Structure formats: C-alpha cells, structure tokens
Amino acid sequence: MKISQKGLYALQAMMMLARHHNQGAIRIRDIAYEEGLPEKFLELILLELKNARMVESVRGAKGGYQLRRDPSDIHLSEIIRLIDGPLAPFGDAEQLRTLIHRDEEHRALYQIFLEVRDAAARILEHRTLADLVGPKNPGAKRSQRKKKDHESSVLPMVVHGSASRSKDE
C-alpha cells in the first residue's frame, strides 16, 4: 500500500491529538515538535483535516487544534482517503471488477489484486485512532520528542514507491 509522506504526517498528528483528547487544544508548534514534523507542512495538513471536520481549531492563548470527534469514531481509512485518495494499492475496486469481467486471460491476477485491496481496506476501515493510542498499545504514551536517528521499531513501508527502512539495515 502506498501512503504519502503527507499521509504519514497526518496520521502521526492525529495520533497525538488522540493521545491528548479531552485535554484541550494543542498548538501546531507543539505537535510539530513532539512528532518531529515540519511545522509549515503540518499547518496545511491540519487545515485539510479541519475542512473535513475531523479536527477543530481553537483561537486564543490556549488555542490550537483538537479532535472534533472521539478517537474511537475516527477510522484510519477516513484519514488516508482524505489525504491520499483511495485505499487501493492496485487501483480502485470498481476498476478491478471491470478488468475481471473483461480480461479473461488475466482474470485470476486481477482477482488477487481485488482481494488484496479489499483486505487492506477492511483493516483500515476497522481500525480507529483509539486502537492506535489505547492503553493496550505500548507506544500509546510518549513522554519526550521522537529522536529522528532512533528508528529501530519502524517497519519498512512503501512511501511514494520506495521502501523506507531504518538506518540499521
């Protein structure tokens, strides 16, 4: 599955807002610092999330951003679809169904692609921000800023077609 850097940043920011849900608004500067994200890019991402009514902004001295809904009501699929478009790693489902019916020679291949697409979509549609930051998740609480050079727990992920791996590999 391809998730853009923007999509990854959006998920990280939303996870932080979920960890601090019902604790008031958080300044963009604090989110950027805690998550190690570029502040100006984060502003654009949060504006997009605000326009989609996933977060809301609060003005004033204690202003910033906060989740508009409970973390258990925000599915990962919503965030990814908003930022990166369809969840499908091999094209959208309708396109694959059309190919299955039209291209008999490659039907089995397209059927597998559809199954992979459906499995990925099903996982992301059934996981919420609360699942990522809940008490059963060991990475749910974070007391200090992430260190950029410490990526030992990060799994390889395809971001814009290239595998992103830790420095140890």
pLDDT digits (tens, 9 = 90+) for 67-113: 999 999 999 999 999 998 877 565 677 788 888 888 888 889 888 88
Average pLDDT in the 140-155 region? 44
Q: How far is CA 118 from CA 44, 97, 112, 121, 136, in A?
A: 30, 12, 10, 5, 26
pLDDT at 116: 86
pLDDT tens-place string over residues 30-48: 999 999 999 999 999 999 9
DSSP code at position 143: -
Residue 144: pLDDT above 80? no
φ and ψ of 30, to 5 deg: -70, -40
Please tell me which residue, 151 or 13, carries the higher pLDDT value: 13
Which sequence spans correspond to the domains of the chain?
5-140
Greatest extent of the chain over all pairs of C-alpha atoms, in Å: 64
Q: What is the pLDDT of residue 88?
A: 58
CATH code for residues 5-140: 1.10.10.10
Q: Is the pLDDT of residue 15 over 50?
A: yes
Q: Beta-strand (E) ranges in 11-169?
A: 55-58, 64-67, 157-159, 162-164
Per the prediction, the chain carries an average pLDDT of 81
Which whole number is the average pLDDT over 129-151?
60
pLDDT at 114: 85
Res 94: pLDDT: 78
The vertex-161 CA angle with 159 and 166, nearest 5°, equals 50
In this predicted structure, the answer to whether residue 121 has a pLDDT above a threshold of 50 is yes
Output the pLDDT for position 112.
87
